[in-house]
Structure 1
Amino acid sequence: MSTTFLRSRRLLPFLAAPTALLSVSSAHLEAAEPEPTSQPAVDFVGVFVEKESAARLRQQFPAKFGNADEPLVVVLRFQPTAEEQEAFAPIFGRAAKLHVKGLAEDDHAQTVLVAVTTETGESLEYDGAAEPAHVTLSTSAGGLSAGYSSVLLERLRASDKLRYLLDDEEGISQWTGELPAFESKHLPLFSPFPAVEAKIVKVDAKQSEQLALQGTVCLSSRFDVSTGECQAPKAECGFCKFMKAGPCGKEFTAWEACLDSCKKSGDDFIEKCGPQTLALRDCVDANPEYYHVLSDDPEEKKDESEAEDK
């Protein structure tokens, strides 16, 4: 973000909300109801499976659906708080081991249950996770993807079949059968899920050791898929700190999150972020005692000063 914004908000059309912004889609923006609480872009802490390990896993369990080339990841924590990110920070970029417990699949998804540890064997699984750590191999659920994998595990747990994979002492190594219609707590808006045929296959310790899966612990927004590296966090710009420290910090954070989301998704900023932009503009206008620096023109001040000296 350019620091020229500090000198004159007229240089940043997004916040100044000039005629161009309002006239391009004024009717659309007026009709659009501002979100009650603007959601930040989805972020998560996860273990990103290295390419060689992913290839071995896919060879062991061939994909049933079409997204076999997507990166594989174990989600440890969705939308981590600042405190949770700080807790995970010391191991970002570190290697993690994945010990395969077994495969669970139905007509919509394939997922592999894993135990996630550091290289020295310490568990990395998050205590508050809704379901056991798992890798979604393939899915026909489109945007639901990993979300539906959690539903599948939730259904298996409710049917008391998940223990076949979680209990090392359990003698049953394979099960196939029908899961009844189900009301999910993970995806309630898509419930009820109809009855479906499901299958689970347990993997013994020797097979898991032969797979020798590894990955990198990272925050999703900092993981570079092309290099497989967890990038260091970028220092926050001084302008951003200035905006967030003021009375419009909440509005600026929502606007910034919407902007970042558009950059990632390719969505049109004006169409998607109109409410956030107008909310930030109105807040800045309502707090001139803090944000006056955004509209103060140094040249105008210079002219005024020279006029006073004459």
Structure 2
Amino acid sequence: MNPSESLSAGMSSSESKTLEAKSEASENLTATEPSNPSIEEENLGEQTQEEEEEEGECGFCLFMKGGGCKETFIAWEKCIEEGENNKEDIVEKCFEVTAALKKCMEAHSDYYEPVLRAEKAAEEELEREVASRDSEQNKEDANPEEAVSKEK
């Protein structure tokens, strides 16, 4: 997604129209019309900040914030960021906020269904991998000679 798509994707239609109107107004200025540089600089500063915020957001984050769990997701994001910055165990630190986010997503499953489905598939894959490793370990424990020959 290019920056303009990213910017417009996060805007309401009224914000987008306002931005378009500002662009048209600045294009319609002629050399004889005085302009106010301080206002233009202020507007540019606002747009730059908005663009940086939008460009900094990943698609997943934008999706998560687009549904009914925006505030819960933001709380989860902050918890993860604090945990990483303080080199804490984020699983332990953010257990409650993660549970709250999952509960919220399930309550809004009509919107978050793709994420919930992907999470469920990942959990099932992990369970299969663990079961496969356990099965291999049980075979090795039952027949240690085969385990030695596999290592060679």
User: TM-score, structure 2 length as denominator?
Assistant: 0.41
Higher relative contact order (CA 8 A, sep 6+): 1
Looking at secondary structure, tell me which structure has more helix per residue: 2
User: TM-score, structure 1 length as denominator?
Assistant: 0.21
Looking at secondary structure, tell me which structure has more strand per residue: 1
